[in-house]
Structures are given as C-alpha cells and as structure tokens.
Structure 1
Amino acid sequence: MAKRFEVAERSALPKTIARWILGLFLVSAGVAHLTWARSEFLAQVPVWLPLDGDFVVVASGLVEIALGAALIALRRKRVLVGWIVAGFFVAIFPGNINQFVTQTDAFGLDSDVARGVRLLFQPVLVLWALWCTDALKMLRKRAAGTREE
C-alpha cells in the first residue's frame, strides 16, 4: 500500500509543478495588466467590445491574479479552478483573434506569423489548465461511469 501511495505522489508532482507555473504566470500577467504592460493589453481589446478598454484590461488583470492565486492556494478545489481557468482562456481568445485580424502589434508580435503562432498556443493553455488540475481526468472518470450504468 505504501508503494502505491509513493507512485501516486510521484506522478502528481509534474502536475503540481505545472499548476504552480501556470498560477505564477497568471499572477504575473495580471500584475502586468495593472502596471508595466497596460498599453500592450489595451491594444488587444477588440473595438467591437461594448466596454471601456481600460476597464477590460484592469478587470481581466484582477481576474488573472485571482485565478493564478486560486491555482496555487486552492488545491482541494483544483478541478473546479481548472475549469474556470480554461474558460477564462477561451473567453479572452477573441482578443487574440482581434490582434491577428487587425494586425495590431503588441508584445513583440509584429507579424502575421507571430500573431498566428500565438493563436495556436491558446488551446495549449486551455489543455494545460485542465491537465494540471486533473479536470480532464475527472471528466474521463465521469464519462466512463456514465457508460457503465
């Protein structure tokens, strides 16, 4: 029984590290929204969004800080937090698409290729959030349980 526990703990370590890295990334990005990169983030807010751009940047920054902190601190709620973080990454995707379509330069993304490559990484962030929080694992377990009934 002790060996099983050790194996489970070892296999959980990469996910824990990945969850912490993602959490720290989100906190850092959130602080950047509020400070040194505010104008860069403002350039990504779609003009068709019926909200003040500065409000969107500040609000999304505060949300990123909260989500990053939750990834790190709320270990027992990590599956729920994983789904929320993944949803957040989906919700901000139109801003990345807008940056590509309008050819807006921000964060050193000054070509269609660079902006296009960035678009490809958004699904990676979604999967990262779901994997490191075991949200994918729980979804598979629920799907398997439903089929067995």
Structure 2
Amino acid sequence: MIRTVARVLLGLFFTAAGVAHLTAARETFRAQVPSWFPADPDAVVVVSGVVEIVLGLALLLLVRRRAVVGLVVAAFFVAIFPGNIAQFVEGRSAFGLDTDAARGVRLLFQPLLVAWALWCTGAWTWLRQRLRRAPARR
C-alpha cells in the first residue's frame, strides 16, 4: 500500500514537473541546462518536459510494467544529474536555490530520488530476481 502511494506521488510529481517545463517554469528550468551541453537550452527543457510527462503517466498507468518503468525513471534521474551539478558549479539560481549551500543540499537528494523510483516500483526486487535466475557465466 505504501509503495503504491509513493509510486502515485512520484507519478504526479513527474507529470506536474513536465507540465511546468512546458508552461510557467520553462524559463527557470533553463538554469539547469549545463552551459556546455551542445543543444539549445529551450529545446532541452521542452524535450525533458515531454519525457517527464510520459514517465509520470507511465508511473501512474503501467502497473504491470512498473519495475521497468522504475528502472527508466531511475536512469532519468541519473541522466539529469549533470544539470544539477552544473547549476551548483556555475552558481545559477533557480527554484529558490540561490546559495551554494542550497544547491549543494539538492545534490544530496538526487540519490534519494533514484532510490525512491527503484523502491516504489519494485524495480530493486525485480532486478534481483532476474539476476538470480540468470545463468552463471564463466
């Protein structure tokens, strides 16, 4: 029950964040696009917003594939981590993160988001079971 609630909350969070990428917070999300990233920051924000909406809906609707969705969501959190690091290193203020300390604390939460995605979808358990069933390689 608690995992289901956590998965639904994560799905709602993702969906809302994706919508915010495309609307009210679009400009603010540009602060998270690293200056070295070889793409238009606005395009990155739009694409990542669409991805977040898709992942949010997948968390909410694809119950039978929730473990796979959890792995993809965890991978997404890992993929966007360089943007969070860049925001810290470059001292960019966004989302109330207007000090190095605030931006640094945010970096510490990224592994927790990865763990949340893996736990609430049962991806950890699913992956362990699959690895146990895999034939040993020599």
- How many positions carry a matched residue from both structures? 137
In the TM superposition, what are the counterparts of 1:20-59 in structure 2 within 5 Å?
20-59=8-47
Which residue of the partner structure matches residue 105 of structure 2? 117
In the TM superposition, what are the counterparts of 1:1-149 in structure 2 within 5 Å?
13-146=1-134
AA partner of residue 137 (structure 1): T
CA distance in 2, matches of 1:61, 1:145: 36
CA distance in 2, matches of 1:142, 1:76: 16
Structure 2 unpaired stretches of 5+: none
Post-superposition shift, 1:143?
Answer: 3.5
CA distance in 2, matches of 1:119, 1:147: 37
SS in 2 for 1:43: helix
TM-score by length of 1: 0.88
Structure 1 unpaired stretches of 5+: 1-12
Identity %: 62
Post-superposition shift, 1:145?
Answer: 3.9
AA partner of residue 84 (structure 1): V
Higher Cα Rg: structure 1 or 2? 1
Post-superposition shift, 1:147?
Answer: 8.5
AA partner of residue 119 (structure 1): L
CA distance in 2, matches of 1:146, 1:61: 36
CA distance in 1, matches of 2:134, 2:72: 23
